Structure 1
Amino acid sequence: MRVIVVGAGVIGLTCAVRLAEGGYEVAVFARDLPLETTSAVAAAIWGPYLSAPVDRVAAWSRTSYDEFVKLAELEPSIRLRHGREFLVDRTADPAWADVLDDFARVPSPPAGFADGWSYTAPVIDMPTYLPTLVKRLEAAGGTLTRAALSALPTEADLVVNCSGLGARLMAGDPTVTPVRGQVLTLEPCGLSEWLIADRGPDELTYVIPRERDVIVGGTSQPNDWNLAVDPDTTQQILDRAFELVPQLRKARVIRQRVGLRPARPSVRCELVRAAAGTPIIHCYGHGGSGITLSWGCASEVFDLAGQLA
């Protein structure tokens, strides 16, 4: 069966790898190549964010967690790191907590926070991981081609639509909207544990150490298409991060970037028939959870494709 996957972010590539390694003839077409996508900007720590519905997101997240734990044994772009997450209100355990062996409440959150938890999560270095997915795709016989499509293709046995924000056009779906995220890359400064502090959309702070740098964010600005770095926002991000992690003060800012998360009221992952009769699996609207849901959604896409065999 010939399959065309539209989109080369982490969702598109993961679906393509799963299908190609499962025996399908796979071609990926994308306007933006992997390192040009929002996925390349992501801090990429496992953990659902801006995605629904809760039950499906939890199931997809569990599948991805298990896969990343296995990949971390062989893939240098993936590390299991311990860290803490702080919240302003007392909060029930998240639906996905049962997959974590070391999930625990933080006994004394810092000032300004009423709750928090700690756990070990996969952290993925996306500029390294995305090319690894491309190599896996090609090793399985798949291809990746840059193509500025104006509509979903019809010349395949199956089309998998992983176009992210592009689904506004590709699927005629105006419920897909951007949530702007501005992030900074800092020099490594000896940090080994990550930190997330969520005071709300205007004060989202995260510090994610990787092997060669530290990703510091961020913002969560709905319906904002601006891809330009805002200097005032940069300073606000740094001020919040320095307050929580003073060690960062000695690290130089290497890079600043902006990504647009593809948000939707709920993730769309379903098999439909186009007017021309071509089967289409839509898989988009993952919000800030692309990496977290990637292997879970790819497994569901693979199962849906199997219904057509």
Structure 2
Amino acid sequence: MPSSRSHIIVIGAGVTGLTSAVFLAEAGYEVTVIAAHVPGDSSIEYTSPWAGAHWHTHATPDDPRACDWDVQTYEYWIDLLEREKRDAKLPKAGLKVYDSFKYWDFPGTDELWWAPYVKDFRVLADHHEPVRSINERTPKGAGEIKEAVVYRAVAVNVSQYLLYLQERARKAGAVVIKARLPVEQGLQNALQAAEGEAMSKGRSKADCFVNATGLGAAKLCGYEAMYPIRGQTVLVKGEAETIFTRSGVDYGAYCIPRPGSGSTILGGTKEKDVWSETPDPRVTEQILKHAALNIPELMTGSDGGFEVVSVQCGLRPGRQGGARVEREVVGGKRIVHAYGHAGGGYQNSIGSARLTVRLVDESLACAPVGARL
């Protein structure tokens, strides 16, 4: 590794940026995080707080890098929970393990490459619970569960987890600065502005940058490859005892408890190239309709329905060709890009951040000349 006191500026404070900041700071680097939005903020521009979120891989065997990232994250989260259990003094990350059910309303076409890497994986027959009960209460012609599996998965209280990452980075010496950079003026100007912000707070000149700006990279880097994937969700009272995801013929549905919050996220949608932050009441109705079949125990309202806390939309940072995690030199400045993880930001986060640290190490070992290293 190059000098451990090299200064790294991380741009972006979502799960990708903060996890990278934690690992860089704990590796001995001087780290500054600069972001327009930080944990506790609520903005359609700030994707991470809107996530479900739980370990449910979106990776396919034709993307072995993403598969590996997801496995690394699963193993890391399970180990983190074990460490929290052994040491009550450790700060709680907001993670919890649940039985996670995956249902298909058609013969499964997914390749379950991940089955050997998760705990307690098993296939469910139609006479097993909860498949039997769900199918029995499903109206005729509405589509029954044809295939199902269950395994142990981790759900994330996203608000708590982002704060946990931020505080862990700070404990390792990182400084978090809330500031909006001039992204419309191009990447080189934004890097200079970021360095100026850091130096105004007494930090040294940057030796390397990490671009973890998510959808912001569309403006920052001028990449047409970036696009939003809008997801609409409903937060309801009551903390579900299990996770489920269901793939229907023309819909997707899921239920993700937020550990320790007394609430559950119901979803959801994947709308490519939709930027609107305004929820669609018809979508809300459909989300609740599907949830009623799959998780009726949460219907605790006085009217027999769900007690809705809020309805919201988030924009996942999609990118043609998958996530960009690579190094580059821009205007003589070293930079490692880490964005475009689409709906896989949380489950990619550990593996992606470890690669980011390795690329920072490699970048600092090279002279900053030329374009892409």
Query: TM-score under structure 2 normalisation?
Result: 0.78
Measured in 2, the distance between the counterparts of 1:252 and 1:213 equals: 10
Task: Confirm or deny that 1:199 pairs with 2:248.
Answer: yes
Cα-to-partner distance string for 1:250-274 (whole Å, 9 max, x where unaligned): 2411122110001113111111111
The one-letter amino acid paired with 1:234 is T
Question: After the TM superposition, which residues 108-257 of structure 1 pair with which residues of structure 2 at under 5 Å, given as runs?
Answer: 108=126, 110=135, 111-149=143-181, 150=183, 151=187, 152-154=190-192, 155=195, 156-188=206-238, 191-199=240-248, 203-210=251-258, 211=260, 212-250=262-300, 251-257=306-312
Q: What secondary structure does 1:141 align onto?
A: coil
- 1:85-141 deviations in Å (ceiling 9; x for gaps): 112332244333321132222222544333232111111101111111110111111
Is it true that 1:26 corresponds to 2:81 in the alignment? no
Counterpart check, 1:77 vs 2:94: yes
Which consecutive segments of 4 or more residues in structure 1 shift more than 6 A?
none
Identity within the alignment, %: 33
2:147 and 2:109 map into 1 onto residues whose CA distance is 7
Structure 1 residue 76: Cα displacement: 5.2
1:51 and 1:6 map into 2 onto residues whose CA distance is 29
1:269 to 317, 325, 331: 325
> What SS does the corresponding residue of 1:8 show, helix, strand or coil?
coil
Q: Which has the higher contact order (CA 8 A, sep 6+)?
A: 1
Q: Give the letter aligned to residue 149 of structure 2.
A: W
Aligned to 2:73: 64
What runs of 5+ residues in structure 1 fail to find an aligned partner? none
**1:301 partner amino acid:** T
The count of aligned residue pairs is 306
Deviates more, 1:45-54 or 1:1-10: 45-54
SS at match of 2:191: coil
The answer to whether structure 1 residue 86 and structure 2 residue 118 are counterparts is no
- TM-score with structure 1 setting the length: 0.93
Residue aligning to 2:13: 8
